[in-house]
Amino acid sequence: MTYNSEEMQQILEVAFKRKQEGEFTRENIIEIASELGVSSESLKAAEQEWLTEEVEVKKQQISNNQKQQEFKLHLITFIAVNGFLILLNLFTSPGYFWAIFPLLGWGLGLFLHWMKVYKI
């Protein structure tokens, strides 16, 4: 029986999913590659490309987590400072709500920060 490359890939995907341990040694990968006719040079290049991509993905995840933490700190600071300003405004000059100006200005900056961090 013969298979085209798409069928072969689907069969291998099913086989990989069935493997309960979920881990392959480098020797396993080399053996599978040689059975599929993949040269060792191609395998090394593919492995290096995969490792490079993995490093980039991890760096991006760390960067995203750091940006989210910075946004959360910005939000907490916004709430604390503007809460204080609103209370100060209510006690010192309840007839004129001047605290709206820093609230709106900083709120716009916080909104733009949120859009940048969560890419919306």
The pLDDT tens digits of the residues spanning 71-120 come to 999 999 999 999 999 999 999 999 999 999 999 999 999 999 999 999 87
In a domain, 1, yes or no: no
Q: How many domains does the chain have?
A: 1
Measured CA to CA, the distance from residue 32 to residue 36 in angstroms comes to 6
The amino acid at 57 = V
Q: Which two tokens stand for residue 82?
A: 């503007």
In a domain, 14, yes or no: no
Measured CA to CA, the distance from residue 31 to residue 41 in angstroms comes to 14
DSSP letter at 98 equals T
Please, are residues 114 and 67 in contact by the beta-carbon 8 Å criterion?
no
Q: Which two tokens stand for residue 85?
A: 């300003």
In a domain, 30, yes or no: yes
In a domain, 102, yes or no: yes
In a domain, 7, yes or no: no
In a domain, 6, yes or no: no
Q: Which domain holds residue 104?
A: 20-118
Interval 21-63: pLDDT, tens: 567 777 777 777 777 787 878 778 878 888 888 899 999 999 9
Report yes or no on whether pTM surpasses 0.75: no
Please, are residues 82 and 100 in contact by the beta-carbon 8 Å criterion?
no
Q: Residues for the chain: how many in total?
A: 120
